[in-house]
Each structure stands twice: as structure tokens, then as C-alpha cells.
Amino acid sequence: MEFTASQIASFIDGKIIGDETALITGVSPIENGESGHLSFIAQDRFSHFLDTSKCSVIIVSEKLLNENSYTPTLIVVKDAYLSFQVLMNLYQEMRGRKEGIEDGSSIHDTAVIGDKAYIGAFTYVSEKAKIGEGSQIYPHVYIGKGVKIGKNCKIDSGARIYDYCIIGDNCVIHSNTVVGGDGFGFQPTAEGFKKIPQLGNVIIEDDVEIGSNCSIDRATIGSTIIGKGTKIDNLIQIAHNVKIGQNNVIAAQAGIAGSTTIGDWNQIGGQVGVVGHIKIGNQVKIQAQSGVNSSVNDRETLYGSPAISYNDYLRSYVHFRNLPGIVNRINNLENNSKDNTNE
């Protein structure tokens, strides 16, 4: 697609400095700009590219402008990062969505497929499954018995949605993620570990995005729940009967053990481990690689393993780094004390 600078500015309510007719045929990172391409600058540390970038048009936050004259055409907005996101979403919509059922897919007679939905080749849709209007189910997806998928969802290739799980509207599930696999439930006996049937399901509410290669286990009874607006990175394990509230973000390789409850608007860093049967409040920040082994109150920031207050951790770490020197000083004091006593 081709756009002029004036067309782009009209999409984001921007003010043009330079050539309104400058033609854009692609986008580039600002560090690797090309002629005919569009990029953006939202932070001061990149503002020097206003003078050096080869991009033809740059979207820039108004706070970064000075009195210089610039070679690229500029589109000035309040927040360049947010404006660029608006453009990317518009471009994605312009690319269009697929519709229809491709050859090679298998759809049970009792399944219900909504209008304008897309079912890719080699996808299997089980009995009594329901797929909402406009949803995109890409090739090699498995959709189990009684699964309900809402409107305008995107399920990428290789994902598996097991029996009776429920997915809301506007959700994205990336490749090779499993929703509704058995929870890790075993009873120790004299003969070994006996499997506990996992009879519940998973409920994913509206506007949730789940990265690739995640596992979200079905509940033993009841439901494992992922709340509205929550965003889950790649390679994350969420165990049976976990309940996650609204608008959380969870970074890659985190693991949440069974029956833990997490509130709203939390930020959980990469490789965080959370034990089972605890409660994490609202607006909590857990730094990467922390281990959480007890319940957490609202608006706390944690670090370490086991995780403690972030500020306490930083103060403790200063002493930890100096621990050999501190031990030597203590030993010297003890030796001096003994010498004085002997005298």
C-alpha cells in the first residue's frame, strides 16, 4: 500500500512539517531508516535521528521538537508511540480477514460456525462447538467438544482448545498454546501416584491475548479463569483452578501454581514463580525471577526468592555484595576482642 504524509497525518490528527505529498511505501525502525519509509520517535534518546534518519516521514512527539530545520517530513503529534500504534492497527484492518471454510478441515455436523468466520485447512472442530462471528481459526487447530469461542477471535496454527472451554470475544491465542489440558493432580498412595480426574474447564474472558507455547490447565472442578483484558506472554504455565483478574500482564516463563488467586492490574515479570493456594492483590509489581511463596497485599512491589519488598531487597543486596568484607571485619573484631581479654 502507498500513502502520502497528509493521508497518514489525517489518521492520527497530526501536524505536518515539510512535504505533504511525501510518499510512503513501507515502515522502518528509526535506527535503520530507508527512503520512502515511515518511522516514529517518542523518546528523547532517539531524537538525534531527526537529523540523521533516511526515512522520508517521521512521526514525532511534539515535546522533542526544537528550532532546527529537518530533512525528513515530520508529522507532529502529542504521543508518537500511541499514534504509531493507531496506524499499525489501521493497517492490520486494511489487510482484511479471511472468511470461509478451507478444504481439509473437519467440522462436526452439530458444530455452529458464525457468519464471516474462517476455518483453516486441517482444523478439527468437535461436536457442539460454537465459533463466533468473524473469528479466525487458522490451520491445524484442534477445538474440542462443547468449546465456545466468541466473536472476532484469532486462534493461530497449532493451538489446542480442549473440551468445554470457553473463550470470550476479541481474544488472541498464539500457536501451540494448550487451553484446558489436565491439571497436575495426583494422589499419593502405597502403590504410587493415582491420577485425580480433572473435570472442570478454562474460561478466558473478553480481550485476552495469550502467547505461544503456553499451558493453561483445566480446573479439577469448577473453572480456571483468565480475566478480561489480561495479556500473557509466551511459555507460561497456569495451573488448575487459578483465577486471574482483569488487565494483568504476565511476562515469559512465569509459572502460577494451582488455586492461586490474582487480582487486577498486576505486572508479573519473566521467570516469576508463584506457589499455590495464595492470594495476590491488585496493582502488584513482581520483578523478574522472583519467587512468591505467600499472599501479597495491594500495590506492593516485590523482588527476590523468596520475594520480599523491592526496596528491602535493594538495601539487603548492598550488604550481600559486601558480605566477605563484612565477615572479615567481624572476624577481626572478634580476634581483637579475644586478644584484649587475654591481656
Tens digit of each residue's pLDDT (9 = 90 or more) over 283-296: 999 999 999 999 99
pLDDT of res. 152:
96
In a domain, 242, yes or no: yes
Residues 158 and 89 in one domain: no
DSSP three-state, residue 26: strand
When pLDDT is averaged across residues 102-124 and rounded to a whole number, the result is 97
Is residue 340 predicted with pLDDT exceeding 70? no
Query: pLDDT band at residue 308, thresholds of 50, 70 and 90?
Result: confident
Residue 342 has pLDDT above 70, yes or no: no
Answer yes or no: do 89 and 117 share one domain.
Answer: no
Q: How many domains does one find in the chain?
A: 3
Residue 319 annotated to the active site: no
pLDDT, greater one: 69 or 119: 119
Do residue 31 and residue 119 come from a single domain? no
Q: What is the pLDDT of residues 50-87, one digit of tens each?
A: 988 999 999 999 999 987 778 899 999 999 999 999 99
pLDDT at 191 over 80: yes
Confidence of residue 94 (pLDDT cuts 50, 70, 90): confident
Helix (H, G, I), strand (E, B) or coil at 191: coil
Can you give the pLDDT at residue 307?
Answer: 87
Does the pLDDT of residue 320 top 90, yes or no? no
Asked if the structure places residue 104 within a domain, the reply is yes
Report residue 341's pLDDT band, with 50, 70 and 90 as the boundaries. Answer: low
pLDDT of residue 326: 86
Give a yes or no: residue 184 inside a domain: yes
Residue 121 domain flag: yes
Rounded CA-CA distance 136/229 in Å is 19
**Would you say residue 306 has pLDDT above 90?**
no
Q: Are residues 132 and 278 in the same domain?
A: yes
Q: Could you give the angle at which helices 310-321 and 323-342 cross, rounded to 10 degrees?
A: 60
Environment class of 60 (CB within 10 Å of its CB; exposed 0-12, middle 13-18, buried 19+):
buried
Q: Are 276 and 294 in contact (CB under 8 A)?
A: no
Task: Report CA torsion sign: 271, 272, 277, 279.
Answer: negative
Residues for the chain: how many in total?
343
Return the beta strands (E) in 138-214 as ranges: 142-143, 148-149, 154-155, 160-161, 166-167, 172-173, 178-181, 186-189, 192-195, 201-204, 209-210
pLDDT on residue 314: 86
136 & 263 share domain: yes
In a domain, 308, yes or no: no
Residues 265-279: what's their mean pLDDT? 98
Same structural domain, 232 and 330: no
Q: Please tell me whether residues 198 and 334 are part of one structural domain.
A: no
Using the 3D structure, point to which of 35, 65, 95 is the last residue of a domain.
95
Burial class (CB in 10 A: 0-12, 13-18, 19+), 300: middle
Q: What pLDDT score was predicted for residue 189?
A: 96
Same domain, 190 and 125: yes
Q: Which of 37, 140, 174, 240 is catalytic?
A: 240
Residue after which a domain boundary falls, among 43, 72, 95: 95
Q: Report, as an integer, the average pLDDT of 274-290.
A: 97
**Are 283 and 334 in a shared domain?**
no
Instruction: State whether 28 and 134 are in the same domain.
Output: no
Domain region containing 296 = 100-302
The answer to whether residue 343 sits within a structural domain is: no
Contact 209, 201 (CB under 8 A): no
- Does 307 reside within a domain? no
In a domain, 214, yes or no: yes
Q: Which residue has the higher pLDDT, 320 or 47?
A: 47
Residues 44 and 193 occupy one common structural domain: no
Mean pLDDT computed over 198-225 = 98
The residue from 95, 128, 144 where one domain ends is 95
Q: Residue 146's pLDDT is what? A: 98
Domain shared by 278 and 153, yes or no: yes
pTM of the full structure: 0.84
The arithmetic mean of pLDDT across residues 166-174, rounded, is 98
Sign of CA dihedral 246, 265, 291, 237: positive
